[in-house]
Amino acid sequence: DAGVTQSPTHLIKTRGQQVTLRCSPKSGHDTVSWYQQALGQGPQFIFQYYEEEERQRGNFPDRFSGHQFPNYSSELNVNALLLGDSALYLCASSPGPNYGYTFGSGTRLTVV
């Protein structure tokens, strides 16, 4: 049973560019959340998707947007990349509100 899968594993982008990260939730999970983790810090909540809608959003600018597809997979888009967007981006899924979250291995984004 595959867990949460994220792609790509690593990527390097230039300031001002746009990037799309992808996430497939664990089988049976319908809720997807995205987190940003800077080096040496705990993950920070970006947003959560449920039933193809953004259910909750953290304190991130509108440059960060997302989407959830009918098969529950999700994308995170970041526009106008800044050097400060360099981080590990983690996707987490859950089968419902009474359960914990399962995390993927993350995408390491470097902005140069």
Partner 1 sequence: KQEVTQIPAALSVPEGENLVLNCSFTDSAIYNLQWFRQDPGKGLTSLLLIQSSQREQTSGRLNASLDKSSGRSTLYIAASQPGDSATYLCAVRNVSNDYKLSFGAGTTVTVRA
The residues binding partner 1 (CB under 8 A) are 4, 6, 31, 33, 35, 40-45, 48, 55-56, 58, 88, 90, 92, 97-106, 108
At closest approach, how far in Å is the CB of 42 from partner 1? 3
Q: Note every long-range contact of 68-75, with CB atoms under 8 Å and residues 24 or more positions apart, other chains counting.
A: 68/32, 72/25, 72/29, 72/30, 72/32, 73/22, 73/23, 73/24, 73/25, 73/32, 74/22, 74/23, 74/25, 74/32, 74/34, 74/49, 75/20, 75/21, 75/22, 75/23
At closest approach, how far in Å is the CB of 70 from partner 1? 21
Q: Which is nearer to partner 1, 20 or 37 (CB)?
A: 37
Q: Which is nearer to partner 1, 18 or 52 (CB)?
A: 52
At closest approach, how far in Å is the CB of 23 from partner 1? 11
Q: Which is nearer to partner 1, 17 or 56 (CB)?
A: 56
Residue 21, token pair as written in the block: 């990260």
At closest approach, how far in Å is the CB of 16 from partner 1? 26
C-alpha to C-alpha distance for 43 and 15, rounded to whole angstroms: 22
Q: Which is nearer to partner 1, 15 or 99 (CB)?
A: 99
